Homo-oligomer: A and B are copies of this chain.
């Protein structure tokens, strides 16, 4: 059974201010829940129509399809919904390549970028304070479990970059150096900008190396690449140079 207060809690977690206040976030669907259960994230409560999860019994609530539908945000509710504790933010450690996002707003893009960091072994993902919250349910969904394996830190990005002196700050700009011939040191922060506006002026001033993904079409057009596909290309090229 789901109590009224539980419904109220779960619904409130749709909003960032409540997630932050309560230190909790929601994961939906069998695969997503299993991924997070298998990580070191702490389970708060699990609501499921089938007792198939490897979770403590005292935190597991068997519920009906109708009850699940009531608390789910998905069009088609899937087996279960779990509430997990947001990990306490620990000291930021920069080791090797770091990705920094300057105002990425689309949940799907952030989820894809988290998944890419996981794939390419990037330990730390820095997000500016105006980047979409990584515990937004759409981000969690799109990250496919990678959110448990990548350390994500929200920081005052201009201040952070100004104070850091261990890493080279690199960013993508149309007038930048060709990515494929550019040398990017092992300890770098690669900065990616907002979907519409790119890297903000304040951050641009702090960039020490501008790089560009060359375009190969006959007809030049003004469109840039999507921020998630740009991240994919940058990470792949960085690891290639490092390893092959």
Interface residues of A (CB under 8 A from B): 108, 112, 115-116, 118-121, 144-146, 149, 178, 180-181, 213-219, 221, 223, 225-226, 228-229, 232-233, 236-237, 239-240, 243-244
Contacting pair A219 B149 (CB below 8 A):
yes
Contacting pair B119 A243 (CB below 8 A):
no
Choose among B115, B237, B239, B243 the residue that contacts A236 (Cβ–Cβ < 8 A). Answer: B237
Contacting pair A119 B215 (CB below 8 A):
yes
Q: How far is the CA of A125 from the CA of B237 in the complex (A)?
A: 24
Q: How far is the CA of A218 from the CA of B150 in the complex (A)?
A: 11
Q: Which residues of B contact A149 (CB under 8 A)?
A: 217, 219, 221
Q: Which residues of B contact A219 (CB under 8 A)?
A: 149
Number of identical monomers bound together in the oligomeric complex? 2
Contacting pair B181 A226 (CB below 8 A):
no
Q: Which residues of B contact A215 (CB under 8 A)?
A: 119-120
Given contacts A223-B146, A226-B112, contact A217 B180 (CB under 8 A): no
Given contacts A149-B219, A217-B149, contact A225 B119 (CB under 8 A): yes
Contacting pair A213 B236 (CB below 8 A):
yes
Q: Which 3 A-B pairs have the closest CB atoms?
A: A121-B216, A229-B232, A233-B236
CB distance from A105 to the nearest CB of B (A): 16
Q: Which residues of B contact A233 (CB under 8 A)?
A: 232-233, 236
Which B-chain residue is minimally distant from A231 (CB atoms)? B229
Please, could you name 10 A-B residue pairs with CB atoms under 8 Å apart, sorted by A? A112-B229, A119-B223, A120-B217, A145-B223, A146-B221, A214-B239, A216-B239, A225-B232, A232-B233, A237-B240
